[in-house]
Amino acid sequence: MAFETDRYGTAFSSLLSETRTNPLDGGTPNTDARPDLDALTAEAAFAGKKIVDADMAECCVSAVWLYHNFLDESHTISQGIHSTSGSYWHGIMHRREPDFPNSKYWFRKVGDHEVFDDVAQAARAEASAAPDEAAFLGAQGAWDPYAFIDLCESALGGQSGTDALCREVQQREFEILFDSCYREAVGG
- pLDDT tens for 115-131 read 999 999 999 999 987 77
Please write down the HEC assignment for all residues of 10-74.
HHHHHHHCCCCCCCCCCCCCCHHHHHHHHCCCHHHHCCCCCCCCHHHHHHHHHHHHHHCCCHHHH
Domain boundaries, the chain: 28-186
Report CA-CA distances (Å) from 94 to 106, 139, 185.
Answer: 8, 26, 24
- pLDDT tens for 93-116 read 999 999 999 999 999 999 999 999
- pLDDT tens for 138-180 read 888 899 999 999 999 999 999 988 999 999 999 999 999 999 9
Rounded Cα distance, 128 and 18, in Å: 26
Q: Which residues, in sequence order, are CB contacts of 18 under 8 Å at separation 6+?
A: none
